[in-house]
Amino acid sequence: MEISQKTESRNNSSKVHKQRLLKIFRRLLACISIVMITPLFLDFSGTWQTLFGWMAKIQFLPAVLSVNFLVIIGLVILTLLFGRLYCSVICPLGIMQDGFAWFGKQVKKNRYSYSKALNILRYTFLGIMIIAIIAGLNSMVALLAPYSAYGRIVSSLLKPVWIWGNNLLASWAEQHNSYAFYQVEYWYHGMGVLIVAVITLIALAFLAWRNGRTYCNTVCPVGTVLGFFSRFSLFRIVIDKSKCVDCKLCSRNCKAACIDIPNHEIDYSRCVSCFDCIGKCNKGALTFKYVGLKSDKGVSNAESIDGSRRQFISTAAIMGVTSAVSAAEKFGDGGLAVIEDKKIPKRNTRIAPPGAVSLRNLNNHCTACQLCVSACPNGVLRPITDLEHFMQPESSYENGYCRPECTRCSDVCPTGAIRPLDTADKSSIQIGHAVWVKANCVPLTDGVECGNCARHCPTGAITMVEYENGLKIPVVNTERCIGCGACENLCPARPYSAIYVEGHENHRII
């Protein structure tokens, strides 16, 4: 009898150990994931993007906006199999919150408790997101999108430190006759983005430190959608009532606040499959196992399947409709001394980067994640400050111009707002046209020869013609101009260039 009990005890101990390994494995995957994603917003060489750019494209909301059904179906299948594993392993904002929650648990152990789901609030935010996508109100989409929020935090707060460290290392290396590193110039992309990033970080840090996954289970629309599907997951954490002693240790360590010990139930729509509860249970009462199509929360199988079928159809329809509707050199080539900073000219139409196809396509697909802004090596892209298109990118040439051989923004965009293109295609896309301002032109204001705009025009769209007193002025062939901004950027006139680019609402091939 004793031998049998000892054998059973060893078997139970082995099972508990194997279950706890799930927590370690999940954390390892989460660390690998965030290490691959974060440098996408920091890398200025393009190397990291080449290796791990696909990590941006497997994020849920960018996949929806780019109508990438393969990724959407893959993530839904992952959720139907293992629950909201996406939220704890793939989503960088969720992983970041886990980090803040870990610090919170170091201050106070067993700090969480079960609370009922705030379904009205959850579905309200989801409804706002869907309406915003359909109506093209992408400023609201940008504020609620988890991947975009993480991108703004990293590019606005961490990238300046990253660039400073690189430049410090480059300076040290140069003193030792090594040129393995090079100096990189950084400029803040907008106070509005910085303010939003700081507020978002503070709010998320406070909520995660205090209450764990509050944002994920009350605000995040991606969490709400995946939470619905996770209710039908085939593998789930289940409570063995015969082993549970109602100590509530699992509930007090559940950052999703979804374990109801008095009723021995788990709200699978909020469970993010972090396995922290399994790691804390000393009795082996919690296991992650295959349960098939069994109902959640103790409801009978027939009632659950019948009651949820309508919700499944409605949620799938919403996702389908949403997807269908959504269907470095700063003063490089001029070599001129800087007298004063250039000012941005007033454009009647803002300039969408090549690959955007049109302003409408950019507005309807962009989530303002700042990945393209962060990746642009020429300082051309910057966030928009007006409320209608807040934080979406636009081209502006006071810091650099859009080089014909560069396709970085189209390479990194995960949503289809800037579509992939090669250098041959880019050189033939007209995103705007140059406009000459006579009152600012150096030959007329200073009586000296210039021609800087004509010399550096990559398409030969600008020619210098005789004016008077032997001076020449530029003439623009708008049929050949692609709107790259080389003329505007390299024009020596200050504070406003004598030639600037006017954007086109719809791009065209020349």
The reported pLDDT for the residue numbered 185 is 77
At 69, is the secondary structure helix, strand, or coil? helix
| C-beta of residue 208 within 8 angstroms of C-beta of residue 218 | no
Tell me the per-residue pLDDT of 456-507, one tens digit each, with 9 for 90 and over: 999 999 999 998 888 999 999 999 999 999 999 999 998 999 999 999 999 9
What is the enclosing helix (H) or strand (E) of 475?
strand 472-476
The reported pLDDT for the residue numbered 12 is 58
Cα 14 from Cα 19, distance rounded (Å): 9
For residue 179, CA distances in Å to 142, 163, 245, 393 come to 39, 16, 64, 33
- Measured in whole angstroms, the distance separating CA 300 from the mean position of its chain's CA atoms is 40
pLDDT tier at 201 (50, 70, 90 boundaries)? very high
The whole-chain average pLDDT of the chain stands at: 86
Burial class (CB in 10 A: 0-12, 13-18, 19+), 147: buried
| C-beta of residue 381 within 8 angstroms of C-beta of residue 369 | no
Cα 211 from Cα 219, distance rounded (Å): 14
Cα 53 from Cα 414, distance rounded (Å): 8
pTM over 0.85, yes/no: no
Q: Please count the other Cβ atoms lying within 10 Å of the Cβ belonging to residue 127.
A: 13
- The CB-side HSE value for 236 (13 A sphere, CA atoms) comes to 26
Cβ contacts of residue 45 below 8 Å, gap of 6+?
Answer: none
DSSP 295: P
Q: Please count the other Cβ atoms lying within 10 Å of the Cβ belonging to residue 157.
A: 13
pLDDT tier at 2 (50, 70, 90 boundaries)? low
DSSP 349: S
Determine which of 224-233, 294-303, 422-431 has the lowest per-residue pLDDT on average.
294-303
- Give residue 386's identity as a one-letter amino acid code: D
Angle 412-416-421 from CA coordinates, rounded to 5°: 65
The reported pLDDT for the residue numbered 13 is 65
Cα torsion angle, 157, 159, 162, 163, sign: negative
Please state the rounded mean pLDDT for residues 390-403: 91
Residue with tokens 């494995």: 25
| C-beta of residue 175 within 8 angstroms of C-beta of residue 163 | no
pLDDT tier at 16 (50, 70, 90 boundaries)? low
pLDDT > 80? residue 26: yes
| C-beta of residue 504 within 8 angstroms of C-beta of residue 433 | yes
The reported pLDDT for the residue numbered 89 is 95
Cα 280 from Cα 323, distance rounded (Å): 40
- Nearest-CA neighbor of 268 among 404, 87, 112? 87
At 43, is the secondary structure helix, strand, or coil? coil
DSSP string, 194-257: HHHHHHHHHHHHHHHHHHSSHHHHHT-HHHHHHHHHHTT-SEEEEE-TTT-----TTGGG-TT-
What is the enclosing helix (H) or strand (E) of 508?
strand 499-509
What is the enclosing helix (H) or strand (E) of 132?
helix 119-135
For residue 459, CA distances in Å to 225, 403, 449, 462, 482 come to 48, 11, 22, 8, 8
Please state the rounded mean pLDDT for residues 347-366: 93
Cα 94 from Cα 410, distance rounded (Å): 26
pLDDT tier at 66 (50, 70, 90 boundaries)? confident
Tell me the per-residue pLDDT of 81-124, one tens digit each, with 9 for 90 and over: 999 999 999 999 999 999 999 998 888 888 899 999 999 999 99
The alpha-carbon radius of gyration of the chain (Å, integer) is 28
Cis peptide bond upstream of 39, omega within 30: no
| C-beta of residue 182 within 8 angstroms of C-beta of residue 44 | no
Determine which of 20-34, 42-56, 80-94, 470-484 has the lowest per-residue pLDDT on average.
42-56
Q: Which residues pair with 395 in a beta bridge?
A: 351, 381
Q: Please count the other Cβ atoms lying within 10 Å of the Cβ belonging to residue 140.
A: 15
Token readout for 144 is 């609620």
- Measured in whole angstroms, the distance separating CA 304 from the mean position of its chain's CA atoms is 35
Q: Determine the straight-line distance between the first and last CA of the chain, rounded to whole angstroms.
A: 88
